[in-house]
Amino acid sequence: MIAGAVAADEDPRTLGLWSRAAGVSTRTLQYACAAAHVSPAACRDLARVLRLVVATLAGGEAWDPFAQLNADPRTIRRLMERAGLSEERPPGDLVSFIARQRIVRRPPILSVLQSTCSRWSAPVEAPRAGPPG
């Protein structure tokens, strides 16, 4: 379901937007997160930042969290801090980003994300930036 958020046309800033991007109900997202022992908000935050990282590393977008994440600057700064990212420059690669971020730390989830990195690295699958607001 995180892959749905990564491929979303716009920032999946709410569970509703994320569920639509993933093609499932909000309740299904919540149950999946509960089954993985991770809060839906933490998964959503990781998906939002991962979408930004994938778009940038695939060459589709310039690194600009303040333009690409639909949130107030304080929220973006906190999110970047939890993601272990700089506001000024993107991470070098997806695997190191996933290992360094502090949003979701469950080993089974990290393992799945790291095994999916090669698929997300292809420019053809990079998400497009959505319209602001």
pLDDT 10s digits, 43-99: 999 999 999 999 888 887 789 999 999 899 999 999 999 999 998 988 988 988 998
Of 51, 50, 48, 32, the closest CA to residue 40 belongs to 32
Does 68 fall in a domain?
yes
What confidence category does residue 121 fall into, taking pLDDT thresholds of 50, 70 and 90? low
What average pLDDT does the segment 106-112 reach? 89
H-helix segments, 8-106: 15-22, 26-35, 40-57, 65-68, 73-82, 94-100
Does 6 fall in a domain?
yes
Does 133 fall in a domain?
no
Of 91, 9, 2, the closest CA to residue 38 belongs to 2
The pLDDT of residue 20 is above 70: yes
Total domains in the fold of the chain: 1
The reported pLDDT for the residue numbered 59 is: 81
Task: Domain of residue 72: give its range.
Answer: 2-125
The reported pLDDT for the residue numbered 124 is: 34
